Structure 1
Amino acid sequence: MSLQKPLMRGLLAKRLRFHVPIAFALSMLTAVGWKYGVTEPRKQAYAEFYKHYDATKEFTAMREAGIFESVRPKGE
């Protein structure tokens, strides 16, 4: 009793027909998961932060603390 020879002709095309749609579906699922799991909460956090952010107030506080070398505090 001998073993049957493996069918090599068309093997790549046959396997690609099976694996490419699965890879595409998994990549789309990952992209959607990343969008709604990472980027949307991050955008919401930035929007919430900048809703109450006052750049002038922050600059004045840093200037008074002496962080900037080129800008002196008022009164000097």
Structure 2
Amino acid sequence: MSELVGKIPKPQMRSLLHRQIKRNLLICGIGVAIAGSYMRFVYGDGQKRAYAEFYRTYDIEKEFQRMRKKGLFDSCDADD
């Protein structure tokens, strides 16, 4: 009868907290590396491209004339 019933393994009580901390730090490190890579390559580079495109097509003289016509400047008359 004793051969049919398997032995229950003893619970691991020593160094349990240390192993869990090591595992959690490893998982956290991998998560931080993935998040950092995402922010650098996907989000950051996308923002750089968007700013570069905006300033490549930005016409400051046209923008100045638009704001002047609205009367936003005190030093210039709003000519229509």
Partner amino acid, structure 2, of 1:29: I
Match of 1:71 in 2: 75
Q: TM-score, normalised by structure 1?
A: 0.71
- Residues 61 and 54 of structure 1: is their aligned pair in 2 closer, same or farther, counting only changes over 3 Å? same
Is contact 2:70-2:78 (8 Å) kept? no
- Residues 74 and 26 of structure 1: is their aligned pair in 2 closer, same or farther, counting only changes over 3 Å? closer
* Mapping for residues 46-61 of structure 1, pairs under 5 Å: 46-61=51-66
Q: CA deviation at 1:37?
A: 2.0
- SS of match in other structure, 2:35: helix
| Unmatched 5+ stretches in structure 2 | 1-9
CA shift digits 1:8-64 (9 cap, x unpaired): x43321211212111101110111112222121111011011012122321121012
Q: CA RMSD in A?
A: 2.2
* Mapping for residues 1-76 of structure 1, pairs under 5 Å: 7=13, 9-68=14-73, 70-73=74-77
Is contact 2:68-2:76 (8 Å) kept? yes
| Unmatched 5+ stretches in structure 1 | none
Greater mean alpha carbon deviation, residues 38-47 or residues 55-64:
55-64
**How many residue pairs align between the two structures?**
70
Q: TM-score, normalised by structure 2?
A: 0.69
